[in-house]
Amino acid sequence: MIESDELLSIRAAELYYEEDKTQDEIGSILALTRWKVGRLLAQAKASGFVRIEIVHPRARRLPVERRLRETCGLADAIVVSTSGVEDQDELQSRTAQAAADYLATLRPVPRTLGISWGRTLDDVSRHLHDGWAGGVDVVQINGGVSLNRRAGTAASTAVTIAQKGGGHATLLPSPAILERLETKRAIESDRAVSAVLDLASNADAYLFSAGAADATSVLVDSGYLTSDDVAGLVRRGAVGDVVGRYVDGAGAIVDERLDERTIGLPLESLRAAQLSIAVIAGAAKHAVARAVVASGLCTVLVTDEETALHLIENHPSVPDSEGQRGTA
Amino acid sequence: MIESDELLSIRAAELYYEEDKTQDEIGSILALTRWKVGRLLAQAKASGFVRIEIVHPRARRLPVERRLRETCGLADAIVVSTSGVEDQDELQSRTAQAAADYLATLRPVPRTLGISWGRTLDDVSRHLHDGWAGGVDVVQINGGVSLNRRAGTAASTAVTIAQKGGGHATLLPSPAILERLETKRAIESDRAVSAVLDLASNADAYLFSAGAADATSVLVDSGYLTSDDVAGLVRRGAVGDVVGRYVDGAGAIVDERLDERTIGLPLESLRAAQLSIAVIAGAAKHAVARAVVASGLCTVLVTDEETALHLIENHPSVPDSEGQRGTA
DNA sequence: ACGCGCCGTGCTCATATGAGCAAAGATCCC
DNA sequence: GGGATCTTTGCTCATATGAGCACGGCGCGT
């Protein structure tokens, strides 16, 4: 009879969800009391026979968000639906939109927001709506002067976010990575730079993304690193970069020498922050996302469903510096 | 504001369906009255943002059934879900199961049931449960003596259906297709055969399948026709066979000469029947299914979702003897 | 500018649904 | 076989939801 109950619950679910019948009506169709029908329906839902999905570019996945928050100990998690996503761009765009939405609904509104730069952040800036905040000061947290045609993207990201938020942007007037340690120390001690870094380290909130450890990285594209450099980092365990710094699966700096030449907020400041929002989407970034979450670099993660499920399944709370390398 | 309403309805749907919040709770979360939330939810459903699907091997697609009934003028339609189907066998099996279920719930229970034979019908017979009817006489409606190793399948199908239904089977002791017209006439006039045909033509209900017009047909497999014969029929417009008779897209006999040598109930008897149930599944059979439905060979169709949607989209009520050939 | 009509809103009331409970069956162990 | 226990069933009552309606704001035409 357990078998026939299952079948009945399917028939009931069909009538209830597809034909919009009332439980009472279903009762008389299937010759059952309406209470039995109610229980059958509950059973069908509990057994997962009834799948309810919300299909919309801006739909989120609340149950996944909850699981992600819980298994990864995040303060908050925003997971966008991947259903109906056609390409990588669509996914990026949806995630950026969600990040923008999240930023706009933050209460209290941060007075100072530290941001990194890159493709993702730029996307977020474009998806924000005018007046998303009543006066935010935006400050760059890592070196933002590009070496090539892309110059200006980093600046425009910051400026856009600030303008739309009714505040102004403070740029970090420095390259991301210097060639010599001495130059880095020199530039870092320059008031124009150190003042910005001070401001950055006192921001109310941080918003940053992460890059995958491969040749498509903005750091390669901007000329700071060569593909070979990145390949070398990967060999040493790098899974991606966070605000310009390459980390391994456990979120530790891969190459101290390189890191010392990198200008920007140290990762420890992100870890210590009250509110730091990471925006990371796409299969290529699963490994970095895991490192970011596992090592506590963010308190809030905005990501896509697939990445979220990957994180949940791979319990990032038990980091493993081997593992995920090369998943991209 | 219309835009923001859409977004709100998505948020509301997320909270309602994924988080099991009450409309009232959602109201306080989104700062809306519960009536507004109700309307938003209704809007989300109406716009198709909320997709509810019942995933189960024995799930049916009631809305599709309704549309199929309406657009094709069927007395009834049974459409099985294709979600999660792994292979052709699974699809066949689900459809056969559904046909068996339908047969078992028929009221009034037919006293005499005319059946064809083949892979599909055999599947149906195996999915029926013991005691599905309290005494049905099963009679074959087309020639059932196979020429090769498969001999007996046709007989066993009929016997199984009859046994499980507490009745007995009447087999048609004749080949499906004779080589010479004279032989066919002779055998047809033999009492042993004509009595069965008489019985068949007076059946309360018919249950049959259809074959695609290709070399995989049981008629080829059983040695009645060669692949070349079938290819020739296809060139002349055949889309498949129904109880051993090849028909074109409009349901008309393709080759009168061949048809005259075919033993069994004429298609007109199926068209005139009160209740004739066709069981047809799989992409290879879309074209025959269309012909069967369009030409009124069945009053009830048991099929899979894809085939059903194909039929609905291709309005079989406006038959087109060209068209679907070769869709398989 | 004024009145008209339409749309969106929040309401009342009827209905549908779910929680909790007591009785009836089924099951199991002795 | 008999009693104890556990499950299933049908109920009562509280709650959630949907239909229909009256009101108010908004845009439109004159």
Footprint of strand D on the protein (CB under 7 A): A 32-33, 35-36, 39; B 16, 22-24, 34-35, 38, 41-42
Those residues with Cβ within 8 angstroms of residue A120's Cβ, 6 or more apart along the chain or in another chain: A92, A95, A96, A209, A279, A280, A281
Q: CA–CA separation, A204 vs A294, rounded Å?
A: 22
CA of B27 to C1' of C6 (A): 26
Q: Which residues of B touch A48 (CB under 8 A)?
A: 55
Q: What is the pLDDT of residue B1?
A: 52
CA of B227 to C1' of C15 (A): 63
Both tokens assigned to B188: 């047809």
**Contact check, Cβ <8 Å, A60/B14:** yes
| pLDDT of B151 higher than 70 | no
Residue A253 and residue A245 in contact, taking contact as beta carbons nearer than 8 Å: yes
Instruction: Average the pLDDT over B117-127 and give the result.
Output: 92
Peptide bond into B57 cis (omega under 30): no
pLDDT tens digits, B178-216: 888 989 899 988 988 898 999 999 999 999 999 999 888
| Residue pairs between chains A and B whose CB atoms are closer than 8 Å | 76
Q: Is the Cβ atom of A38 within 7 Å of strand C at any atom? A: yes
User: In the complex, which nucleotide's C1' lies nearest to the CA atom of residue A35?
Assistant: D10
Instruction: Average the pLDDT over B246-272 and give the result.
Output: 92
Rounded to the nearest 5 degrees, what angle is found at the Cα of A248, between the Cα atoms of A246 and A253?
50
Residue owning tokens 């008897």: B269
Residue of A45, A56, A78 best to disrupt the B interface, most CBs of B under 10 A: A56
**Contact check, Cβ <8 Å, B10/A54:** yes
CA of A31 to C1' of D2 (A): 35
Q: CA–CA separation, A221 vs A146, rounded Å?
A: 9
Residue owning tokens 């199984």: B160
What does DSSP assign to residue A240? E
CA of B56 to C1' of C23 (A): 35
| pLDDT of B150 higher than 70 | no
Residue A224 and residue A259 in contact, taking contact as beta carbons nearer than 8 Å: no
Q: What is the pLDDT of residue A322?
A: 47
Q: Which residues of B touch A13 (CB under 8 A)?
A: 54, 59
Give the CA radius of gyration of chain B. 24
User: In the complex, which nucleotide's C1' lies nearest to the CA atom of residue B35?
Assistant: C10
What letter represents residue A34's amino acid?
R
CA of A160 to C1' of D24 (A): 40
Which domains does chain A show, CATH number per domain? 3-46 (1.10.10), 62-313 (3.40.50.1360)
DSSP H or E stretch at residue B208? strand B205-212
Residue of chain B minimizing CA distance to A79: B14
Q: Is the Cβ atom of B35 within 7 Å of strand C at any atom? A: yes
Q: CA–CA separation, A80 vs A65, rounded Å?
A: 9
Q: What is the pLDDT of residue A156?
A: 85
Number of Cβ within 10 Å of residue A220's Cβ equals 17
Those residues with Cβ within 8 angstroms of residue A298's Cβ, 6 or more apart along the chain or in another chain: A74, A208, A270, A276, A277, A278, A292
**Contact check, Cβ <8 Å, B55/A48:** yes
User: In the complex, which nucleotide's C1' lies nearest to the CA atom of residue A39?
Assistant: C18
Residue of chain A minimizing CA distance to B10: A59
Q: What is the pLDDT of residue B323?
A: 44
Residue B295 and residue B249 in contact, taking contact as beta carbons nearer than 8 Å: no
Model confidence band, residue B149 (pLDDT cutoffs 50, 70, 90): low
**Contact check, Cβ <8 Å, A51/B55:** yes
Concatenated DSSP letters of A255-298: -HHHHHTB-B--HHHHHH-S-EEEE--SGGGHHHHHHHHHTT--
Q: CA–CA separation, B240 vs B226, rounded Å?
A: 14
Q: Out of B14, B50, B55, whose CB is closest to A62?
A: B14
End-to-end CA gap in chain B:
48
Q: Which residue spans within A45-182 are E strands per DSSP?
A: 50-54, 76-80, 112-115, 137-140, 169-170
CA of B9 to C1' of D4 (A): 53
Q: Which residues of B touch A53 (CB under 8 A)?
A: 50-53
Both tokens assigned to B250: 């409009």
**Contact check, Cβ <8 Å, A60/B15:** no
**Contact check, Cβ <8 Å, B19/A49:** no
For strand D, the positions having any atom within 7 A of a protein Cβ are 9-12, 15-20
Residue B176 and residue B264 in contact, taking contact as beta carbons nearer than 8 Å: yes
Q: Which residues of B touch A59 (CB under 8 A)?
A: 10, 13-14, 49
Q: Is the Cβ atom of A34 within 7 Å of strand C at any atom? A: yes
Q: What is the pLDDT of residue B12?
A: 93
For strand C, the positions having any atom within 7 A of a protein Cβ are 9-12, 15-20
Q: Is the Cβ atom of A232 within 7 Å of strand C at any atom? A: no
Q: CA–CA separation, A230 vs A241, rounded Å?
A: 10
3-state SS class at B122: helix
Instruction: Average the pLDDT over B274-281 and give the result.
Output: 96
Residue of chain B minimizing CA distance to A55: B49
Rounded to the nearest 5 degrees, what angle is found at the Cα of A184, between the Cα atoms of A117 and A287?
40
Q: What is the pLDDT of residue B164?
A: 92
Model confidence band, residue B84 (pLDDT cutoffs 50, 70, 90): confident
In angstroms, the Cα distances linking B43 to B7, B31, B47 are: 11, 18, 6
Strand partners, A325: none
Number of Cβ within 10 Å of residue A262's Cβ equals 23
Number of Cβ within 10 Å of residue B260's Cβ equals 12
Which residues of chain A have a Cβ shorter than 8 Å from any chain B Cβ?
6-7, 10, 13-15, 17-19, 44, 48-56, 58-63
Instruction: Average the pLDDT over B98-110 and give the result.
Output: 92
Both tokens assigned to A139: 């400050």
Both tokens assigned to B138: 């099963």
Q: Out of B10, B59, B63, whose CB is closest to A59?
A: B10
**Contact check, Cβ <8 Å, A18/B63:** yes
DSSP H or E stretch at residue B221? helix B218-221
Peptide bond into B108 cis (omega under 30): yes
Q: Is the Cβ atom of A39 within 7 Å of strand C at any atom? A: no
CA of A13 to C1' of C23 (A): 29
CA of B33 to C1' of D12 (A): 30
Q: What is the pLDDT of residue B3?
A: 67
Number of Cβ within 10 Å of residue A124's Cβ equals 29
Average pLDDT of chain B to the nearest whole number: 88
How many residues does this entry show for chain B? 328
Digit-by-digit pLDDT tens for chain A (328 residues) are: 566 788 899 999 999 999 999 999 999 999 899 999 999 999 999 999 999 999 999 999 999 999 999 999 999 999 999 988 889 999 999 999 999 999 998 989 999 999 998 889 999 999 998 888 888 999 999 876 555 555 567 788 898 999 999 999 888 888 888 888 989 899 888 988 888 999 999 999 999 999 999 888 878 877 788 889 889 999 999 999 999 899 999 999 999 999 999 999 999 999 999 999 999 999 999 999 999 999 999 999 999 999 999 999 987 555 554 444 444 4
pLDDT tens digits, B1-55: 566 788 899 999 999 999 999 999 999 999 899 999 999 999 999 999 999 999 9
Residue of chain A minimizing CA distance to B11: A59
Q: What is the pLDDT of residue B327?
A: 44
Instruction: Average the pLDDT over B229-256 and give the result.
Output: 92
| pLDDT of B328 higher than 80 | no
In angstroms, the Cα distances linking A270 to A174, A212, A283 are: 20, 19, 24
